[in-house]
Amino acid sequence: MNEYLLILLLLFSFGTIIAMVANRKNFGLAIIIGCLILAISIPEKLPDIFVKTVTDFKVMALITIVIMIKMLAVILQETGLLQGVLDVLQQKLSYKGMLIAIPSILGLLPVPGGALLSAPLIDLHGKAAGVKKELLMTINLWYRHIWFIIFPLATPLVLLADLSGENIFAIIAMQIPIFILLFFIGYLYVRKVKNIEMKKKERKKGQLKGLLPILLPVSIALPLSFFMSTYSAFLISLPAGILTAFIMGKKKDARMLKKGISVSLAVAIFGIMLLKNIIFASRIPEVISSHLIGLPAVITIAVLSFVIGLVTAHNLAAVGILYPILAPFLTDISMVALLYISSFTGYLISPIHPCVVLTYDYFHPKFIDAYKFLIPPAVAVVVIAAIFYGIV
């Protein structure tokens, strides 16, 4: 297919997804329709891509993990265990400090789809001040992810250090100024929230036990991940967290488990993986790269990395795709950092990023209004990073 038609199909596919979601249509259905639109470019490959996606262990494992996380989140909320954790944090932090701390702390837990863990806590806390759902979604996504700019165990960062030959801590040091900028931007959103005086509730014994069902799966999965895939490790460990929460909670109702099972969420995750496979099979990343490669180095790295991160919604894949293409331009560590920052920012706000899907599914905000919070700072970060690394 003609390259320009291919890019138009991609834009039409993404535009359809965004339009449907903005009009409160089912996210899973929107993603599947987006897949069918883009599949017009490679109709002969679609059956094989579909079979590959259905039979991919990682895809099925991710769907199962996300459903189990949803079940765990429902049990923690229904039993009041989350409220106990909030009460303890309120002893130490201000109201606005809580909005930053909740997604930041849980964001460091390496759980696929982990935005769904912090969403109920953020929601519970945000209701006290009547915070808009769109703002809660933005704060949850922002503070959950920005730490991966400086987190040495972030897989895409480890991969980039390996590919570039640069020391990972040197890359992190180069990225600290942009991390500070990201943190400050997030704080500007937190400042929009009305400050309220929280009643310091008397601390009761055992209130922190609500963290156990969250920390237990991670504690089990971490050592297991040295011997098996991360997906396998969480498939084994998450049932332990669900069972622990069920036993610890005062309310023991099996219907809580059923409430956590979301077919629409499963369809959405499957659709995202199918769309990603269609994007790669149609060679869209290579086509986009070929049209941007002639620009000045700083602009090429910033724009191409942002676009590939946005289109793939997978930062690890984006880094793997980008490095071989941009290698001639990556003459020093500042350009390596620019690649990572730009691809990360595109990935962060991608409408097919699983954490965006999961957070949207939880809060059900107005989609366009939520993106009014996300897009301007994301673009600003890439522009500022390009200027900063172009000078350094």
235 within some domain: yes
Q: Is residue 203 included in any domain, yes or no?
A: no
The answer to whether position 200 is within a domain reads no
| 118-176 pLDDT, tens digit each | 888 788 778 777 889 999 999 999 999 999 898 876 778 878 888 888 888 899 999 99
Residue 267 identity? V
Return the higher-pLDDT residue of 22 and 370: 370
H helix or E strand, kind and range, residue 192: none
Residue 201 lies in a domain: no
Residue 311 C-beta-side C-alpha neighbours within 13 Å:
29
Burial class (CB in 10 A: 0-12, 13-18, 19+), 318: buried
pLDDT tens for 41-56 read 899 999 999 999 999 9
Per residue in 258-282, pLDDT (tens digit) is 777 878 778 887 887 888 889 888 8
Residues 308-323: pLDDT tens digits?
899 878 787 788 778 8
With respect to residue 202, please indicate whether it lies within any of the assigned structural domains.
Answer: no
Q: Is residue 105 part of a domain?
A: yes
Q: Let me know if residue 363 belongs to a domain.
A: yes
By residue range, what is the domain housing residue 34?
A: 3-194+210-391
Q: What is d(CA 260, CA 253) in angstroms, rounded to the nearest whole number? A: 12
Q: Determine the pLDDT at residue 183.
A: 96
The tens digit of pLDDT for each residue in 99-115 reads: 898 888 776 655 666 67
Contact indicator for 55, 71 with CB cutoff of 8 Å: no
